[in-house]
Structure 1
Amino acid sequence: MIALIIVIVVLVVLALAVVGMYNGLVRLRNKVDEAWNQIDVELQRRHDLIGNLVETVKGYAAHERGTLEEVVRARGAAMAGGQSPAQQAETEGLLTQALGRLIAVAEAYPDLKANQNFLALQNELSSTEDRIASARRYYNANVRELNTKVDTVPSNIVAGIAHVSKREYFEARGESRDPVRVDFGSSGPAVPPPQSYTGTELPRAQAAEPAPQVEGADGTDPAAPDPGPTTPQGS
């Protein structure tokens, strides 16, 4: 009788442990899905802002057709449905590169840089990039926790029964680990302008050379100080 009670208690404990692991896996899976939905919302906002930014730039720099079309193509690829997180990160990275080239082009148009709509779109896009980065960190943290549960014993057994599988991280392939970050602070490293002679001042190399000395007709140096009238000896 006692042995039967012990067996029943052990089975109940195991059942509770399995239920607890199952519920924990389901909660983690739901958190990952929720985190990805938040990223998707911010990405859609990003795509809308980039579309408006392209239209604004087009009004001032319509002849920059190659750069504009590149951004439009990259935006279309990023907006394509059915992408996994890894694929989405890759297309977003390509869009970020194209957007960086568009911003660099805009630097050459002072009227565009001063346009209030352009400035507002830049600020909104920069804020959206920050929210995407925050949402990405939250998503990846939950994915890491879920994948750890799926890989480790005994929760991996329950994961197989519950059909809970590992998820992909949302991060860039290659050197950069932040696929959706755009820095509007500068368009690149400052390059010093080439030295040129404007006619208002001598180039430094010429200014450092001493002026040539020309002797007068009597063989004296005209730049030398006048010694004054000479007095005959004995006067």
Structure 2
Amino acid sequence: MKHLMTALLLGLLLTACGNATEAGKEQAANTETTEATETKPEAKTVSQRAEGIAVGEQAPDFELKNVDGKTYSLAGIKDANGLAPKGYVVIFTCNTCPFAVASEQRIIDLHNKYAPQGYPVVAIQPNDPAIQPGDSFEAMQERAEEMDYPFVYLFDEGQEVYPVYGATKTPEVFLLDADRYVKYHGAIDDSVRDPEGVEEKYLENAINALMKNETPHPPVTKAVGCGIKA
């Protein structure tokens, strides 16, 4: 009988320990789940993503504020003769990027050369001034006046245009035909920092090809510049 009582008591003790162990495991699991839930970072919503338009695709029109305070769309822009353009030289650029500053006179010269032939420059400033104060609308106005820009200098204030085009750099070019189809995308030339070192004028060659009803070659080059601040 004594041995029987001892066995029963030992069995009860083992059962109690097993239950306590299972309860401990369950409590630990619940604790881990709670901690994981509490420490898991919230997912960030990406409101803009640069999808981009490829050569041969039609670029969207837009309405953006110019440094003169007026709103412009591609449909409302005229060439130097006051006529509907044969194409558009859309250039994403800014005040502050060294690459853009080094290209500034080239952009002015391009407009002065090709706007009378039907291909005006349409400059767009895509940077967020909260990140890059030197690219505020007021700073854009000052720079346009200082350099006497002969072209529109538009502010992508809501940063809605550059992601749709797929621009990532300043400067970056999209050459469009009269119907807004992209015919060339990339760099102005092969020496963005040094105008004296230019050997191949990609953009000029592309415009000249369009004027002859030819396909630009190359149709795409790598844009070299500063990343757009967003």
Interval containing the TM-score (normalised by the shorter chain):
under 0.3
* Structure with the larger strand share: 2
Normalised by the size of structure 2, how large is the TM-score? 0.27
Larger Rg: 1 or 2?
A: 1
Normalised by the size of structure 1, how large is the TM-score? 0.27
